[in-house]
Each structure stands twice: as C-alpha cells, then as structure tokens.
Amino acid sequence: MTASDKKLSSARLTQPTNKFVEEFTASVTFDKRMYRQDIQGSIAHATMLCKVDVLTASERDQIINGLQQIENEIDNDQFEWSIAQEDVHMNIESRLIKLIGEVGKKLHTGRSRNDQVATDVRLYLRDMIVPIRSELQRLRSTLLDVAEREFATIMPGFTHLQTAQPVTFGHHMLAWFEMLSRDLERLDDCTKRVNSLPLGAAALAGTTFPIDREYTAELLGFERICRNSLDAVSDRDFAIEFNSFASLLMMHLSRFSEELIIWSSAQFDFVDLGDAFCTGSSIMPQKKNPDVPELVRGKTSRVYGNLFNLLTLMKNQPLAYNKDNQEDKEPLFDTIDTLLGSLRVYADMLSVITVKKDNMRLAALKGYATATDLADYLVRKGVAFRDAHEVVGLSVAFAIKQQKDLSALTLQELQQFSDQIGDDVFSVLTLEGSVAARNHLGGTAPEQVKKAIQIARSEL
C-alpha cells in the first residue's frame, strides 16, 4: 500500500488486512448514508477545538472548508468510497487529509471513532425522526378527515369478529387516531433520549484535552450531554427504544391493515381502497388485491425482527465499545425506511378511501346488534339486568327462528317474553337510536364523534 492508501488506524499492525477480512469488517456500504451527520459533527468538533485553543482559527477554517468540499463531492456523486477505509468516518477523514494536507490530521484530536459514531447515529436518527413525525401527523390528520366525513355512518361493531353493537365509522376511525396519538407520545418521549451528546467521551475514558462539551452540544443542537464516558460510547438504548416505538406503531398499522383487507373483500364490501393502491392477478382478471395493507402487515415482522436484533446484539456486551455495535446500524436504518414508507403509503391510501355506507348499514342489521339496547331498555323499566339479559336472549332466539331482526318483530311477539315492553321499544331497536343513545364522552353517538374530532384537531 502507498502511504495515501494506508488505513489511518493501521500503524500498530505489521501486515495489511486480509482482503476478505477487510470486506467482512467494513461498514461503509451502509453507514455512508450518515455522511452529512459525520461532517456536521466534525465541523462542530473542529469549531470547539479552536475555541479551546487546540486548533488555530486558520486550521479550523481549512478543516471546515475541506469538509464542506467533501460534502459537496458526495452530494454530486463525485466522492470515491473506499472499503479499505472501513467506514464513513475514515473515508471522509482520509479524503480531508488528501485535500488539505497535515492540518487534516489534527481533526481527530480529542475524539475517537467510538464517540464519533455514537454521535453520528444519534444525529442521523434525530434527523430522520422529523419526517417520520411529519408523516405520522399527516396520517392522523387524514384519519380525522375520514372520521369527519363519516361521523354518522353506521357500521357493525365487532367482538370476536362477530357482530356486537352498531357503531359509527367515524368513531371507528377515531379509535385508530387514539392508537397513533399514543405512538406520537412515545416518539416524542424517545426523542428526548436520542438528543443526548456522546462526543467528548473519546474511546471510553474521556480525553486529556480541555474540550468544551457544552459548547459542542450547543453547536449540534443537543439538549443534554451523556454524563458517563463509558456509557456514552456503548449505549444503544436510544436505538432500541426507537425500534420499540416503531414496533408498536407497525403493530397498529398491521391491525388496521387486517381490517382494511377484510372490509375490502367481496364478503364484506365495506370499503374500496382505490385502484392506485391495489394490484391485479396474473391469472384471475377479476381480482383486485389489497397489496398495500397486506405488505404493511408483512413488513411489521421486519420491524419486530430489528427490535429483537438490537436487543440480542446488546444483551451480553461488556463495557465499553465493542465491534458488535457496528451491527446496530442496518436494523435501525431498515426500521427507519420501513416505518417512513408505511406511514406515507397509509396516509395516501386513506385519503382516497371510499366508504360503502349502504353495505355497512345492511351488515349492521344482521347479527342482532341492538340486543343490548333492548336489555338496557328493560333495565330502565325496572327489570334486573340478569333477568333482562335472559328476556333478550329468548327474544333473539325467537327472532332467529322467524328470520327477522329484533326491530322487525311485532309488539305482541316481543311482549310474550316480557310485559314490560311497550310500543316505545322500537325507538331503541333502530340502528340510529342505538348509536345516538351512547351520547357520552368516548361514546359512538354522532354528536360525540363530532366533539371528539374538534378536540383532536385542536391537539393536532
């Protein structure tokens, strides 16, 4: 190797790295996506070193100008990445030395790749949380749009996937909104711990140079500083926590996907997802497959796997940094990409969803969805709930034999099970009466759905 090709970290070694080992241990193929963050961190580090008189102003400016030139080269695909330099950090530093000479070798004063990579990963994740949060908010907003449009649309509510009670589609959409609201809270809480500066911990014990970590944190926009140098370079809790948040969010999207898949089937026919979000069959011309929700449901397993990947990666590592931690980036990057894509496609898909109101209403008429309303009616008449429950059970059994809905039974047919039933009973046996009666905070009454949407919009 020539002096210029030699690894910056290879002085201790007497033989060049085995070619296969070089490729096996390199991470530049995937960590180069953090080049902006690496350059950002290096500029802040050089600026801090000048402040504490480790670098002169001239040296600082040469380093910063060189780093900015490198960023421009990468932006314009003019940068030559080298496996020999292992990772994004060494590639950039090696190029800096070629550009500005000996001054470039001073950049690494007072830091290690250990605290440098920990800083880069935090910066990258912090940057990517911004579009993830934006897409999550867009999806929440889209759910509110659908809920507002369908606030009074009646559909069957299910337990055990059996018709239980009538609800409104708007109310159902607000249930998903609530799940995503909790996800947003978890993301914001996780961000606090992502936004902590490890730079200055050096390899594991800190540095003998008079660094100013508070100033570096200010330059990079970190809200706090990792307080222990050993923990700073080895901590990956923030990445695990982000993956935990992502797993919960993807679980919610997977549940939603299951419903959309069922609802769009010919057997239910509650919704149409729009042709742009479905595919056809290679052999069956009549098919319209809900590939987007199916794929999101499938991608959930990837995110789960990434979470367990990181948990397993960290479970037996002694302090401080170990090469194992190179394996933290690919699962984290994959989760970021998967989550961002899933949120984006979901917001787009729901913005054009068609709700088939008539089909939903007909489905709600099946399965005796207003049976509980009849029981509540009897309780208000003075009948004990357990007795009312038995009366309704007998009424339903009779209606099944007659192949009628409860609301289609005559007063005389209903009264054979209880003389407490009067002709006012039919107002509570209708679907509209059932949903309207649940007029309390968190209930499915259209009036409550509208109030909930107003509150949600003010929070959004």
Residues 351, 353, 357, 360: is their CA dihedral positive or negative?
A: negative
Cα separation, 162 vs 160, in Å, equals 5
Contacts of the segment 299-303: beta carbons below 8 A, 24+ positions apart = 299/250, 299/338, 299/342, 300/247, 300/250, 300/251, 300/253, 300/254, 302/334, 302/335, 302/338, 303/243, 303/246, 303/247, 303/250, 303/335, 303/338, 303/339
Nearest alpha carbon to residue 200 among 48, 37, 38, 9: 48
DSSP characters over 115-148 = HHHHHHHHHHHHHHHHHHHHHHHHHHHHHHHHHH
Cα separation, 313 vs 399, in Å, equals 60
Strand partners for 162: 159
CA distances to 156, 210, 405, 418, 435 from 374, in Å: 17, 78, 12, 11, 13
**DSSP 8-state symbol, 165:** E
Q: In the block, which residue shows the tokens 């008539």?
A: 358
Q: In the block, which residue shows the tokens 């809270």?
A: 185
Three-state helix/strand/coil letters over 70-85: HHHHHHCCCCCCCHHH
Query: Do 239 and 121 contact (CB within 8 A), yes or no?
Result: yes
Query: Do 274 and 292 contact (CB within 8 A), yes or no?
Result: no
Is 281 an active-site residue? Answer: yes
Query: Do 434 and 369 contact (CB within 8 A), yes or no?
Result: yes
List, in order, residues 6 or more apart from 421 with CB less than 8 Å away. 377, 378, 381, 411, 414, 415
Is 160 an active-site residue? Answer: yes
Q: In the block, which residue shows the tokens 């309390």?
A: 440
Q: Identify the active-site residue in 281, 351, 395, 434.
A: 281
The gap from C-alpha 400 to its chain's centroid, in whole angstroms, comes to 45
What is the set of active-site residues?
A: 160, 281
